[in-house]
Structure 1
Amino acid sequence: MQTIYGALAARYHRISFVRERVNTPDGDFIDFDWAAPGLFSDKTAGNTPASPDPGLAPTAARRWMQDSDWAGIPDTPNTPALILFHGLEGSSKSHYAQAIAQYFRARGWIVVVAHFRSCSGFMNRMARAYYSGDSEDIGFMFSTAMARVPHAKWHAAGVSMGGNAMLKYLGERPEMAGRLASCAAISVPLDLAASGSSLSDTFAGRYFYTRYFLKSMKHKVYEKARRFPGTVDIYKLGHVRTLRDFDDMYTAPMHGYKNALDYWTRASSKPWLKELMIPALVLNARNDPFVPEPSLPGTADCSDHVLLHQPAEGGHAGFVTGSFPGYLGWLPARLARYFETRL
């Protein structure tokens, strides 16, 4: 209930963004949604009112970034900045992304939400999509954002699937310790096999959460099958009922894995926690319906740079607090307390 209520009913402040589209080396694109002091979604750099772009109506962005907009972003050395990686089928519209981005932007931070392929409200150009262990795309997102604002003091946060991909990448790349001040991972399925099995085999996982995710995921893959004939087995896609089924027939083979188990095993971030050289907050509620409590890491699984916080309650990216109808302010405040000790 904390998971569902947090996503559907709890209150949170909302924010709109300015969108930048960046082409990837393989011919695709990734959309970045920016918010910063001096950057306004309803005005151009010249303080001229800007009408919302109708093409961006389904998104949390109101207009496209212009070259002149970069001049309005603070250029003071060590300006705090946050790059946020969303979860499975999430975006800058997601409740947790809105709450976190608004909180930090209101306190003078530069914030950018990096969208995984096909999650920004636009289908990507290729037959492939995104997946939990995509270190190449995470690296591209980091390098792109940091190049745009090189003087900033960068921090990172990843929620659920995005947090898994972020932690795996940072464990693989110890040199990022010199470029990133700290990071935070929220409600991350660090052991993808445990979480994937829970979502595929438990009653709530199979008949509620997985159905919710598969509705949009299968729609996207049907569209890819139409655009790229022969790349997807439509018959098998029609019989997908669980996350394991989906990853077996699409995610794993499309992204270089043998099957779902091979994908879940090799893409998990838990084995990389010992390699982290960056201060990292790993926050998991013990009642998260996506992450079985026995799969959570202990101190023996982590390097000395990792702080584990495992409260009894909070659900999956929920953490609703306050009197009815509740408020999503606890999570961004918790991240801020951690980050601000490392400014």
Structure 2
Amino acid sequence: MSAHLDLSPCPTPAWLPERQSQTLFGALLAPTNRIRFFRERVETPDGDFIDFDWNSPLLPRAPKQARDATLIQTAATDWLDDSGRQALGQAQASPALVLLHGLEGSSKSRYAQSITQYFRQAGWTVVVAHFRGCSGFANRLARAYHSGDSAEIRFILQTAHARLPAGHWHAVGISLGGNALLKYLGESPTEVAWLKAAAAISAPLDLVAAGNHLSDDRFNREIYSRHFLRTLRPKVLKKAQRFPGVIDTLRIQQARTLRDFDNAYTAPMHGFADALDYWTQSSSMRWLTHIHIPTLVLNARNDPFLPQAALPGPQLGSAQIEFHQPAQGGHVSFVTGGWPGHLGWLPRRIERFFTAR
């Protein structure tokens, strides 16, 4: 059996008439509340760390101001202590959500804030897991994160589950995090039977198509690629100072597209021959027919990151998948309502899918 295809619209406002305005307004200007978190730093098997930001009715309200000066630039305002871990570990069954952010995202990202706020108000525990180097702290190793790192997704999901073992767990991946989540769900379907459901939002399912589109389209190259490189490039150049001779700093400095950056750093650092090899091996598209848990795959058909022609039809997904492909919405935006709009449509869509399962 094939996947279900939903073409119902996202009611984007008339004052955001096309893909670019929808995407940019949702990412940069849409109003959100400031959600605060307790941060937990978890050591990884290879000697690095991942920061998890928790917001839960099982925990006390996080302080409004950072109690540790190192957290000032983050959405976390305190560290999760032993009593907090004990409260999570001893809790009764309750709904829980782990959120995997997109490229250079964090718990400060507008989509993370709006999803956390919505589900927390509904009584859910929400934890935002930061990929290495995205939590406001440089990670320890020369490596970073990438869109096909199934081992990292496994570690993140298993860590969250272990902290709240009685939780009715769900997973949401945004953009890069959505692709990585889908790839892992398809590669290891028996390992994730404890997950109730999952959702991937604006995931670049075909990384070759997405990578080429972001690198070759002039608007995408000058706006989106430049935006990502503004943080990616300095992070890697700082790594090069700590790991001399490991990173080709000249190629990093000369990178003008995501293809350039992935050729210079992401691919060689993480075991791929080049950007094309990285994109090909890491794409989640070919794994969608192997997914065994209920999964929402939401992509607007006007997403500027992924051409509409690259979106999958029902035959490319398992019977557990629902492809929702509204005509409008942009990339991880889905702004609705009158001026100045809001980001409430996306978390409501995710919850509707989760609670129907």
TM over 0.5: yes
Question: Partner residue of 2:5?
Answer: none
CA contact (8 A) 1:41 1:63 kept: no
Which amino acid is 2:159 matched to? T
Greater mean deviation of Cα atoms: 185-194 or 231-240: 231-240
CA contact (8 A) 1:76 1:151 kept: yes
In the alignment, structure 1 residue 312 sits paired with structure 2 residue 332? no
Greater mean deviation of Cα atoms: 173-182 or 110-119: 173-182
The CA deviation at 1:52 is: 2.4
Corresponding residue SS for 1:34: strand
In the alignment, structure 1 residue 336 sits paired with structure 2 residue 351? yes
CA contact (8 A) 1:11 1:327 kept: yes
Q: Deviations over 1:286-310 (max 9, x none)?
A: 1110011000111010010000000
In the alignment, structure 1 residue 258 sits paired with structure 2 residue 273? yes
Match of 2:177 among 152, 156, 162: 162
Which amino acid is 1:107 matched to? A
**Structure 1 unaligned spans of 5+:** 44-48
Which amino acid is 1:42 matched to? A
Question: Partner residue of 2:118?
Answer: 103
**Structure 2 unaligned spans of 5+:** 1-20
In the alignment, structure 1 residue 93 sits paired with structure 2 residue 108? yes
CA contact (8 A) 1:160 1:185 kept: yes
Question: Partner residue of 1:32?
Answer: 52
Distance 1:51 1:232 in 2: 35
Segments of 4+ in structure 1 off by > 6 A?
A: none
The CA deviation at 1:53 is: 1.7
Distance 1:328 1:51 in 2: 26
The CA deviation at 1:116 is: 0.3
| CA RMSD, 1 decimal | 1.4
Q: Deviations over 1:21-43 (max 9, x none)?
A: 00000000000000100313536
Spell out the pairing of 1:193-272 with structure 2 (5 A cutoff): 193-272=208-287
Distance 2:51 2:162 in 1: 15
Question: Partner residue of 1:59?
Answer: 74
Distance 2:219 2:92 in 1: 48
TM-score (norm 2): 0.92
Corresponding residue SS for 2:350: helix
Which amino acid is 1:97 matched to? A
Question: Partner residue of 2:83?
Answer: 68
Distance 1:123 1:164 in 2: 23
Which amino acid is 2:329 matched to? G
CA contact (8 A) 2:88 2:163 kept: no
In the alignment, structure 1 residue 4 sits paired with structure 2 residue 24? yes
CA contact (8 A) 1:19 1:63 kept: yes
Cα 1:232/1:155, change in 2 over 3 Å:
same
Question: Partner residue of 2:41?
Answer: 21
The CA deviation at 1:235 is: 1.4
Q: Deviations over 1:210-263 (max 9, x none)?
A: 000001000000001000000111111121111000000100000000000000
Distance 1:59 1:301 in 2: 39
Q: Deviations over 1:81-119 (max 9, x none)?
A: 000000000000000000001110111101100000000
Identity %: 57
The CA deviation at 1:205 is: 1.1
TM-score (norm 1): 0.96
Corresponding residue SS for 2:179: helix
Higher RCO (C-alpha 8 Å, min separation 6) = 2
Question: Partner residue of 2:18?
Answer: none
Distance 1:23 1:226 in 2: 23
Question: Partner residue of 1:300?
Answer: 315
Question: Partner residue of 2:205?
Answer: 190
